[in-house]
Structure 1
Amino acid sequence: MSHPVLQALLPVVILIAIGYYIGKKHWVSANGTKDLSNVVFLVLAPALLFRTMSNVHLEDIDFRPVLVYFAAMWLVFGAVLWKLHFTRRAAVLGLASTFSNTLMIGVPLVSLTYGEEGLVTLFALVSLHAFVMLTMVTIVLELALELENARHGKAPKQRRSITTRLVGLGHTLFKAAKASLLHPVPLPIVCGLLFAQTGLKLPSVIDQPLQLLGAAFSPVALLLVGASLAVTTLGGHLRVALLLVGMKNLFHPLVLALLGLALGFSGVPFAVMVLTASLPIGANVYLYAIRYKVAEQEVVAAVALSTMLGLFTVALVMLLVGYLP
């Protein structure tokens, strides 16, 4: 029980299991789960993110491991896109192979494993994670949609000029970028960093409530993960789901680790990036599958299976991370 991997992972497993039991017992209704999700994302997460980053100075953050993380992500995403050809389905499955659940599982796990130092590195990634990845995949999906429409003769009756198409694409990208920046995850990180640069300290009357709310985030988020798993079915997409789990939970962190080692990276920031790459698939992937009407059931199955098997694959990656320099 004294092994550091067990010490970090076991509380996560227990809380997810309790949440699963709560879901199976229907102690929280479907609407109640949605309400709880709003509390986690709109109240608890911003409190934790803002308070943590309000004491961090930009010169103390090493963004180089974050750049390596994105490089590995683009390599894996590009490989999926090449293998499945340039289609909406390929883009969504590529996103599923690279987009981590950095908040609900990543924050508690990194906090237990690496403490405040690890969280600062993780939040540096989280501040850019959704913006970079979702903007990128929006570009790919919009271009793929145009190509599919052209291939199948579904282009608009009135042929649009290249200028009109570019303006439409630009409008879509602007909306995606705006939504990513004003999201309740990156926004408090940026606000916290800006506040930290002023050199001011939060008054205790504000700091203490934020501390209490932030402390509630990890247990409530993990209970919510378990409750969500209790009402999710895998359907008939087990094979695709298993392939995506292999790509996301194992291949993605492997590519990141090899790339980082080749570039001479080491230490806690690099270990945090490898661990983050091994996290289960994030829920935002499902939102894109719904929006572009492709691979919805495959993604639902993959997110659920990735989270369930993630308890084992993350443990394996954590053991191997211990051998990194």
Structure 2
Amino acid sequence: MFQVLTHDILPVFSMLALGFLLGRFGKVSRDEAAAINRVAFLVLQPALIFSLVNNLNWSSFRFDAIALYATCQIALFTVAFFIARKVFQRETLEAWLLAMATIFVNTLLYIWPISYLIYGEAAALPVTAVVAWDSAFTFAFFIITTDLLANRNVAPLRSVRRVATNPVLIAIVVGSLGNLLAIPTPEPILTAMHFAGVGAAPLTLFALGVILSGQTLVPNGAVYVMSGLKLLAFPILIWSALHIGDRPADWNALLVLSAAGPSGAMAFALAMLHGVRTDTIAPVIIWTSTLSLVSLAWLA
């Protein structure tokens, strides 16, 4: 457990921690981090996601396991949204993103590279399946719905145009179509996408650390509850659901590992993009990122 923590998990977490420390000591400003994050979001993440979905071998996935994972996401999201909206009296859009933080794990930028370090590419297939699901479907769902909720008074055509030009969504659609229709991507393009994509995780985590360094670390009631739902309720729910049906043990174990990861940074990024308050969302990401170090090392 200790070696997994020191050799595989902490090296990935270190980029988030480095950004946090440099932000706290004023070495990197919030504006500089926001610029880094924007480049990572508009250029590097689409390249990473395109490479992922374009090269997936869907036939190797256990869709029964992914279906159970998705069902648990829907169930917990519904509960978390109700709690944020009715119990903590948050505005609809903030409650939406807080609920997102309980079920959208930082799989693409955090769990995926960690699982590759520990298990290798072939053995980490279940994590790759979760990354594919969250990247191609869950993330796309929240990009679209958050935009529509934030712009309810905008003409529908403008909303459609704005969503349709989102680089992440374009990468998902183009990469998926190329995969499903067996359209080969020219090797130079694949090389360029891979070259750009490898920088997405470290730069995004670093920028997130800097931006989060300006947020308070003191948790309130909503932070306790949302962090608890993410770190405890979600993996327990996934573990329970995976008792339905039979599948290889590594699929069950690695899907639980994925569910135990920290809240995805995209809830915070979408909140910033649409001007939603972040005094609860940011601490949820900080605390789940820190506390998940122990649970991830134990489960791995």
Aligned to 2:256: 274
Aligned to 1:77: 77
CA RMSD of aligned residues (A): 3.7
Structure 1 residue 12: Cα displacement: 1.3
Which amino acid in 2 is paired with 1:219? P
SS in structure 1 at match of 2:15 = helix
Per-residue CA deviations over 1:25-64 (Å, capped at 9, x if unaligned) read 4332222111111221122222222223333344344333
Counterpart pick for 1:128 among 122, 130, 137: 137
210-219 vs 248-257, which moves further: 210-219
Cα separation, partners in 2 of 1:79 and 1:137, compared to 1, 3 Å: farther
Per-residue CA deviations over 1:162-207 (Å, capped at 9, x if unaligned) read xxxxxx79x87x948973x764335323322322345454444333
Q: State the identity %.
A: 23
Aligned to 1:225: 208
- Pairs within 5 Å for 1:234-273: 234-235=217-218, 237-273=219-255
2-side partners of 1:261 and 1:95: how far apart?
Answer: 25
238-247 vs 127-136, which moves further: 127-136
Which amino acid in 1 is paired with 2:205? L
- The number of residues matched between the two structures is 289
Aligned to 2:102: 97
Aligned to 2:197: 214
Aligned to 2:7: 7
Cα separation, partners in 2 of 1:46 and 1:305, compared to 1, 3 Å: same
8 A contact 2:37–2:203 mirrored in 1 = no
2-side partners of 1:6 and 1:296: how far apart?
Answer: 31
TM norm structure 1: 0.71
8 A contact 2:147–2:159 mirrored in 1 = no
Cα separation, partners in 2 of 1:29 and 1:70, compared to 1, 3 Å: same
2-side partners of 1:126 and 1:182: how far apart?
Answer: 17
8 A contact 1:122–1:273 mirrored in 2 = no
1-side partners of 2:216 and 2:178: how far apart?
Answer: 44
1-side partners of 2:273 and 2:36: how far apart?
Answer: 22
2-side partners of 1:210 and 1:137: how far apart?
Answer: 27
8 A contact 1:135–1:176 mirrored in 2 = no
8 A contact 1:22–1:227 mirrored in 2 = yes
Aligned to 2:113: 108
- Pairs within 5 Å for 1:23-42: 23-42=23-42
Structure 1 residue 249: Cα displacement: 1.6
Cα separation, partners in 2 of 1:45 and 1:289, compared to 1, 3 Å: closer
Gaps of 5+ in 2: none
8 A contact 1:249–1:279 mirrored in 2 = yes
Per-residue CA deviations over 1:103-122 (Å, capped at 9, x if unaligned) read 33244334334444333541
Structure 1 residue 272: Cα displacement: 4.0
Cα separation, partners in 2 of 1:238 and 1:176, compared to 1, 3 Å: farther
Which amino acid in 2 is paired with 1:105? Y
Structure 1 residue 256: Cα displacement: 0.8
8 A contact 2:107–2:130 mirrored in 1 = no
Gaps of 5+ in 1: 143-167, 320-325
Q: Which entry has the higher C-alpha Rg, 1 or 2?
A: 1
1-side partners of 2:63 and 2:166: how far apart?
Answer: 21
- Pairs within 5 Å for 1:141-180: 175=159, 179=163
8 A contact 2:4–2:297 mirrored in 1 = no
2-side partners of 1:91 and 1:14: how far apart?
Answer: 29
